[in-house]
Amino acid sequence: MSNKINISLLPLGKSIEVNSGTPLKDVLHEFGVEFPCGGKGTCGSCKVKLLKGKLVIDDVQQKKLNKLKLTDNWRLACFCKAETDISLEISQFENIILADNSTFDFQPQTGFGMAVDLGTTTIVVQLVNLENGHVLDSVSDVNPQARFGGDIISRIQSCLDGNFEELQNLVRSKIDEMIQTILQKHPVNISKIAIVGNTVMHHIFSGLPVNSLSFYPFYSPNLGVQELSNKELNWRLPDAVRILFFPSIGSFVGSDILAGIAATKMAENKKYSVLIDLGTNGEIVVGNCDKIICASTAAGPAFEGAKISQGMRATTGAISSVSFENDELKTHVIGNATAKGICGSGLIDIMAILLNREQIGMFGEINSGEESIPLSGKVSITQQDIREFQLAKAAIAAGIQILLNQMKISYSEVDKVYIAGGFGNFLNIENVIRTGLIECEANKIVKLGNTALIGAKMLLFEDETFIHKILGKTTHFNLEGDPNFQDIYIEKMILL
Ligand code: FES
């Protein structure tokens, strides 16, 4: 059994327990540390400062650090393994949340705000200094509604079964608790709170009926911005705090995607961009400053592990990447642990390898006729998993194609393809392209992380005109309503 050790992260004030020998790369991505050069030691973006404890430094890393002019206890997280208790300063945490400083214009305001990403699975709350846009603290927690089911359909069903109030209270009190946790550390005056989330989260949180979201045409008359008072939420804040849940774009495209559009600046650029959220629902947005179209796909949470026999989210024990070296499969398991399953990025890798090695055919069939292919330990990939991957991949690829057709543009006219979603840091872009999930050049693809959270922070600085500007040019498109949907979907199932 491996020894457990502690890594404390400053200025976050967070402490995580991991197995001794865990690569920092596995655990720090969640806290905003990015690995743009993939660990080659050339970018320096993964630098962390060792405040306490030991992180062994070898000659290669020392040379890289010298070249990057990093002295004074700096380490490159991509090179290091945590062997004993350590304290690290990670300044990237602010950078990623701040989005792109050079292009994110905001009017400085006085006071502080909170940005809230209310996800189906996870909730994140951040404290933001409205004078300079800096994130002072952040907490994340599991959405307590999870006990009523992992996806929005089961949450709607639970509401219909009479649990609406319980689901509402659970999420309201969880956010209150998270806000108070931050305020205990930073006793400041909050003037506003910006909440984003999908339409079902928006409705349950705001106390709006979800019934009409349960049947065709999945319509709701209540998609607009909801302003709630501190009193009705029963939150422990002064009454003057403005609490806004931002508007949804469509019945199944919520303000998390609105925030994503804000984070990509798609609505301001003449050039076209595509935003793909590979999270629980698989949403796609295509557009520019003139017109934006968005859609939700039927991909389901396959990239988060659902429906894959040994699928799991990108947490400890998940195979996050797979490569083929010296005639054998090499897997990387998050947290230096025994492989328990495979997450979305690992699944994409293994599919690309099987294609390259011609172990599977164009219809996804395992050429050897076997029912599964072993990966690591007890984890293997089955014929059914490959089918599920094909379905999810086809749903995303067809969705993009249909939206591009609707915009009357081709992939070659797209300037950037942004990928949002939890496992983004582990994604191998070449493999994403190899499997046909995204069909453009690698240099156009940008892994943007949690775009809902970046956008929510930006929305703290915006007034309603900004929101209306985005909403005014954004339409929701029902993919299944396209007469070519079936043909395109089947075409995208094929693995070439
Ligand atoms: S990821 Fe580029 S130096 Fe570590």
Which CATH number characterizes residue 57's domain?
3.10.20.30
Q: Are residues 13 and 131 in the same domain?
A: no
276 and 308 within one domain: yes
Q: Identify the domain containing residue 389 by its residue range.
A: 265-496
Q: What is the pLDDT of residue 301?
A: 66
Report which ligand 1 atom has the smallest distance to the Cα of 43: 2
The domain boundary, picked from 59, 79, 96, lies at: 96
- Ligand 1 atom nearest residue 77's Cα: 4
Q: What single letter denotes the amino acid at residue 422?
A: G
Distance of CA 261 to the CA centre of its chain: 14
Q: CB under 8 Å to 107, separation ≥6 — which residues? A: 461
Collect all residues with Cβ–Cβ distance below 8 Å to 428 and sequence separation of at least 6: 321, 345, 348, 349, 352
* Closest atom of ligand 1 to CA, residue 79: 4
Query: How far away, in angstroms, is 194 Cα from ligand 1 center?
Result: 33
The answer to whether position 192 is within a domain reads yes
pLDDT at 11: 62
Q: How far apart are CA 366 and CA 347, in angstroms?
A: 15
Same domain for 144 and 92, yes or no, is no
Question: Shortest CA distance to 137 belongs to which of 174, 185, 101, 89?
Answer: 185
Same domain, 271 and 400: yes
Q: In what order do the strands lie in the sheet with 341-342?
A: 328-333, 318-325, 341-342
Ligand 1 geometric centre to CA of 79 (Å) = 8
Q: Please tell me whether residues 84 and 148 are part of one structural domain.
A: no
Q: Which amino acid type is present at position 302?
A: A
Structural domain includes residue 254: no
Q: Are residues 309 and 361 in the same domain?
A: yes
Q: Whose CA is nearest to atom 3 of ligand 1?
A: 41
The pick from 28, 33, 45, 81 for probing ligand 1's pocket by mutation, whose C-beta has the most ligand atoms within 8 angstroms, reads 45
Judging by DSSP bridges, how do beta strands 74-76 and 47-52 pair with one another? antiparallel
- Other Cβ atoms closer than 10 A to 436: 20
CB atoms within 10 A of CB 249: 24
Q: How many residues does the chain have?
A: 496
pLDDT at 96: 38
Q: What is the rounded distance in angstroms from the CA atom of residue 146 to the CA atom of residue 120?
A: 8
- Residue type at 409? I
Q: How far is the CA of 462 from the centre of ligand 1 (A)?
A: 34
Rounded Cα–Cα distance for residues 377 and 328 (Å) = 14
Q: Which of 25, 69, 76 to mutate to test the pocket of ligand 1 (most atoms within 8 A of CB)?
A: 76
DSSP string, 277-337: E-SSS-EEEEE-SS-EEEEE-S-GGGGGTTTSTTB--SSTTEEEEEEEETTEEEEEEGGG-
Domain shared by 31 and 137, yes or no: no
Q: Retrieve residue 2's tokens.
A: 């491996």
pLDDT (tens digit per residue) in 336-369: 778 989 988 999 999 999 999 999 999 999 999 9
Do residue 87 and residue 212 come from a single domain? no
| Residue 322 neighbours by CB distance under 10 Å | 25
Distance 34 CA to ligand 1 centre (A): 8
> Cα(290) to centroid of ligand 1, in Å?
37
CA of 14 to the centre of ligand 1 (A): 23
- Give the distance (Å) from ligand 1 centre to CA of residue 443: 18
Ligand 1 centroid–CA 77 distance in Å is 7
Give residue 409 CA to ligand 1 midpoint distance, Å: 36
Predicted TM-score (pTM) above 0.85: no
One digit per residue, the tens of pLDDT, for the chain of length 496 reads: 568 999 988 766 678 899 999 999 888 876 767 666 677 787 777 889 898 999 998 898 998 888 887 777 899 998 999 999 999 987 654 433 333 333 356 778 899 999 999 988 788 899 998 988 888 888 887 788 887 877 788 899 999 999 999 999 999 999 999 999 999 989 999 999 999 999 999 999 999 999 999 888 788 999 999 999 999 999 999 999 999 999 999 888 899 999 999 999 999 999 999 999 887 678 999 999 999 999 988 766 677 777 888 888 777 788 989 999 999 999 988 877 789 899 889 999 999 999 999 999 999 999 999 999 999 989 999 999 999 999 999 999 999 999 999 999 999 999 999 998 766 667 899 999 999 999 999 999 988 878 888 899 999 998 888 899 999 999 999 898 999 999 999 999 999 8
Domain for residue 347, yes or no? yes
Give the phi and the psi of residue 208 in degrees, each rounded to 5: -105, 140
My answer on whether 195 and 308 are in the same domain is no
Count of the separate structural domains present in the chain? 3
332 and 465 fall within a common domain: yes
395 and 482 share one domain: yes
Mutation pick for ligand 1 pocket among 29, 43, 61 (CB with most ligand atoms within 8 Å): 43
Placement of tokens 């925030």 in the chain: 259
Q: In what order do the strands lie in the sheet with 474-476?
A: 445-449, 414-420, 272-277, 283-287, 292-296, 474-476
Ligand 1 nearest-atom number relative to CA 37: 2
Tell me if 256 is assigned to some domain: no
For residues 76 and 154, membership in a common domain is answered with no
Q: Which of 96, 120, 144 is the last residue of a domain?
A: 96
Beta bridge pairs of residue 138:
126
Count of C-beta atoms within a 10 Å radius of residue 327: 5
Is 253 within a domain?
no
Which distant-in-sequence residues (6+ apart) come within 8 Å of 199 by Cβ? Answer: 213, 220, 223, 248, 250, 251, 252, 253, 254
Residue 98 Cα distances to 58, 116, 267, 273, angstroms? 33, 14, 19, 20
Give the end of a domain, one of 220, 248, 276: 248
The predicted-structure confidence for 425-447, as pLDDT tens digits, reads as follows 678 999 999 999 999 999 999 88
Instruction: Flag whether 258 is in a domain.
Output: no
Q: How confident is the model at residue 454, as a pLDDT? A: 86
Query: Is 295 within a domain?
Result: yes
> Could you tell which of 40, 62, 68 is best to mutate to test the pocket of ligand 1, judged by most ligand atoms within 8 Å of the CB?
40
Q: How far is the CA of 62 from the centre of ligand 1 (A)?
A: 13
Helix and strand numbers, DSSP H then E, in the chain: 14, 24
Q: How far, in Å, are 304, 340, 414 from residue 270 at the CA level?
A: 33, 45, 11
What is the best residue among 25, 37, 426 to mutate for testing ligand 1's pocket, by most ligand atoms within 8 Å of CB? Answer: 37
Residues whose CB falls within 8 Å of the CB of residue 158, separated by 6 or more in sequence, listed in order: 145, 148, 149, 164, 167
Q: Is residue 473 part of a domain?
A: yes
Pocket of ligand 1 (CB under 6 A): 35-37, 39, 41-46, 76, 78
Distance from Cα 63 to the centre of ligand 1, integer Å: 13
